Structures are given as C-alpha cells and as structure tokens.
Structure 1
Amino acid sequence: MMHSTFSLKHFVLIALSLGVTLSSCKKDDEETATPSNGGGGGSTPAAPSTTPNFSDADASLWAVNTFTSQVTPIGTFDIQVGVGVGAFTTDGFATMVNVGAVTLNTTPLTAQSNNAYVSTPSQTEPTGIDFGSGSTAWSVAGGSGFAGFDRTITSFNFPTVSAISSAETVVRSNGYTLTTPSVAGADSVLFLVGGVTKTIAGNANSCTFTASELGGLGTGANLVQVAAYRTTNEVIGGKNIYFGKETVRTKSVTIQ
C-alpha cells in the first residue's frame, strides 16, 4: 500500500467525479463512443464518471472498489480505495434531490452542491470504505418523496478486473486497444480512454477505440480505465432503486 497522502489526494478527485457526473444509459446496452471534452495538456485530469444511471431508475446507489496502478522506482503498486456514490431524482436525473442522511457500510456519504452523494477517503481512513466482505449495507433516511430504507446486498459480489495491460502511450492517429487480462462477474464493462467511453455487455476484457473516436482528446497526461459492474434493482416506496457494485482499474497514460 502506498503512502496515504497520495491516495487521499488522487481519490478525492475520482470520488467527486463519480458523484457529480453520473451518466444515463439502458441496462446492458452496448454504447457507441462518447466523445471527450478534451483533457490532457500536461496535468492528469480527474477521472470521468464510471457509474451509470439507468433510464428507468429513480435512484442509483453504487459501491465502487477502485484500483490505481502507481509506478515507483521500486516497482508498480496498486492503490485500492473504496467509495460510495448515490443519486436520487424525480426527473430522470436532469436534477438530483436530497434524501437526508445516506450511509454505506456505516460510512456517511456527503451530499454535494448538486445533491449527488459521495464518500471520500480521510486522513484517518485513507483507503475509504472496506468492502472486504463483499456485502454492501445501505441506509437512507428518506426525503423529497423517497421513503427511508435499509438494504444489504449479498446476492452477488464485486466483479473482478485484472490490472490494465495496455500500452502507456496512446497515439490518437493509430487508435488504441484498451485491454485487461480478465474480467469476471460483471453485467457490463465500461472502457474509458480520457473522456471517451464505450460500454460492452458481459465480461469483455478488451475494447478498441478508433482514431476518429480519440481525435477530440488533448495531448499530455491522461487516464485509461476499465470499470466492470453488476446491479440489482428493487421498488421501494414506489421508487425504482438500483444497487450496484463496481470494480474500477485505472492507469496513467500519455496522449500523443
């Protein structure tokens, strides 16, 4: 495990991006590439969202296990951090609403200015929420038309994703194949190069991005990610609530 100062700084950015920018899609659909808003330019940008919101959902609650490969003079290390992300809506996620206190495995999630909920690592808990048991226990106080509830998800575990094995340099004009040796236990897998994303149903472990799809990326430092997820949903108090478990692998790259 790397020093907590790095993990806190890096994963606060990731957790905030997960909570603030939640994308909408249909369950198990394969998506065309979603274009980037640029990025690059010499400093590594915050990771884009990896947590989808489904088109029939009134709320999405995500437990996210993140692994980031960090290269050091003595070798490459995986930094693991657990985060929770939640969003509640009455208008198809055009806006989000406040539902009072939300916790995941007893860790409070903080409501952001747009009412997205997110947990962030702290100085005393730099690795975030402990998902070692595989179970996720949610508690929602309720509000804004949502009933309060407690749910523990034990029917499935987190998907497993091996470390990303793709090249550390992305040459836009050549296209890029993002690969991990194995993925298991997923409904779908989200592949990201910078801010360009594709989702493939099942346990896909490789995805190719064309030169035209990568053309909007800026040059310089950026990130590639493989995010495998599995979900279940339940109607609670008349609201369709999705519960997800996601494993995200992140690797730093240089865009050329």
Structure 2
Amino acid sequence: MTVILFTELFNQCFISEAKKYLESKGMAFKVLLVIDNAPGHPQSLCFANENVEEKFLPANSTSLLQPLDQGVIKCIKATYTRLVFGKLRDTLQANPDCDLTGLWMRFSIADAIALIAEAVHEIKPRTVSGCWKRLWRDAVSECEDLGAIDEEIMDIVNIAKQLGAEGFSDMIEDDIREHIEDCGEPFTSEEFEELVQSPTGSDDDIMEDTEAQTPSDWTLQKLASIFWQAQVLKE
C-alpha cells in the first residue's frame, strides 16, 4: 500500500461505501476509522473529511493490536488456499486430460482475485468480532474459535493429497501453517516510492522483445485510475 493508493481508496471508495452502509441502517454519517501506523497511511487523512475521525494505532504495535492481525488474515489465507487447491482438483476431475502443471501455470490474477473475494465472503461475523478483543473487549459479545484454522489446514492437506502431483502429495500440515503465518517483510518508505514510480513490467519482460519498442509506462497510479473509472462505469 502506498500513500497515493491509500488516499484514493479513502476518498473514492471508503467514504462512499461507509456513507451508503450507514444510510442503509438509518444512521448518521459519523465514522471512527482505526488505521495501522504504517508508511503508506498518511497522517494528513485526519483532516480529509469532517464526518470521519481517524485514530492511528501506536507505532510498532501491529501484531499486538491491529484487528486483522488477530486471526482474520490467517483465516482468509487458509480459506483462500483451500479454494485454490479445490479449484485445481475440481478442474482435473472434470477434465481428466488436463495437466496439473498446465493448470497451475494458467492460474491468473483474475482467478486469484475471484477466490480472494470468495474467501473474504466466507469469513464469519464472529471471526471479525473476535479480532477486536484486544482493542475494545467490551464490544466483543462472541468470537470465533480460531482453532477453525486447523480444520482448514487439514482440508488443504487432504485436497493436496488428492491432487497427487509432486509438491502436493507429500505436503504436510506444517507446510500450510508456515505459508499462512508468513506475512513477509514490510516495505520501507523508499521501497514504496520506488514501487509507485516504476513501470509494472520487469526489465526481463522488456528485453525479451528483440525489436525496438517503446517500453511500457504503466504505473500503479495509472492502473488505480483505470480501476476507479471502471468502477464508476459499472455503477
């Protein structure tokens, strides 16, 4: 997440969606937005909208306080992984002539986005409620037992064995658990800036074309603008 993208998300998506939701509940447009203290989340948002009050979590407290880090992200990643493996299995069963390697190579970003959306949709309200227990315990009436992740992991391993290919048949629960708990190293401010300014294509992709062509100048800002315009047209 970059400052530019987060600001666009706030102004063009969050404000309208929050207002629409509150209106559907017959409530006034007043919002308390709790934000992780990260390089991509600008403090200037505190003055962006008079109906939205922003509160930033203390620095270096993400794993301890941030709601999504209290199990929700792990639940989504576990469910997403199960859905991916399930999609591969179902496709192979419906098309016996298909090759798992070929299917895996053809798995696209569009496929991933669709399954991420499905994984988010499967998250139970009790799971979301429970993620607030460290920030606002009195507001948590019930919470999902995060031991449900263990059931997802068992399902993933079982599906992997059904796939039977190398790298799947010998998969164990610890492999899946390590994947789910791995969040990677966060970007620094300098890396964020470099990511925003650089083209989306890699140098290798450009060099593969032996003919002299103008390199792609697609940047994340331009892609964000396209996605926003597409959403407007859709509505």
TM-score by length of 2: 0.26
Greater gyration radius: 2
Higher relative contact order, structure no. (Cα contacts within 8 Å, ≥ 6 residues apart): 1
| More helix by percentage | 2
| More strand by percentage | 1
